[in-house]
Amino acid sequence: MSSPTTMSEDEVAVRALVERRANALRTKSAVQTMATQTADYVQYPLVGVLEYAGETAMTEADFDAVFAGMDGPVSYETHDLHVTMADRVAVTRSLSRISATMVTGDVMQMWFRKTLVLEKVDGTWLISHEHESVPIAGDGTGAAATGLAP
């Protein structure tokens, strides 16, 4: 029988930040979402562009526009969260699931892969880089395989 692993205070803080960001997405709060990020945050998102960074970084208005396309509550889950810690940098990887009804009435539901890089800034953990992805179908079409589940 193995003994339980004790998490460091920093790992507990990183995991709490990941959950705080997930909650901000669930509640469609641009302000709370951006509060989890560094000033030089870079994102490789599922939607829209290859990269948000610097002058093209997502603003509060951009987040609000994305959230405005969703009607009602958003379900957002983080599964199999793995955390690798160093002194002032942490990396997480997980599988995430989002489900929402769009204003068009269409239901968006998908699993995707997520990697976060976090930095400890003035004693507080913040997300400096976020990478979200889905694999492509193995049928030769190159289409995103959005119907996969663990």
Percent of the chain with pLDDT over 90: 82
pLDDT at position 3, please? Answer: 45
Do the beta carbons of residue 101 and residue 13 sit within 8 Å? no
pLDDT at site 4: 54
Through-space distance between the first and last CA atoms of the chain, rounded to whole angstroms? 27
Structural domains in the chain? 9-133 (3.10.450.50)
Closest CA to 82 of 73, 92, 67, 70: 92
Among 31, 33, 29, which Cα is nearest to 17's? 33
In this prediction, residue 2 has a pLDDT band, given cuts at 50, 70 and 90, of very low
The pTM (predicted TM-score) of the whole model is 0.90
pLDDT tens-digit readout, 38-76: 999 999 999 888 999 987 888 888 889 989 999 988 999
pLDDT digits (tens, 9 = 90+) for 67-84: 999 998 899 999 999 999
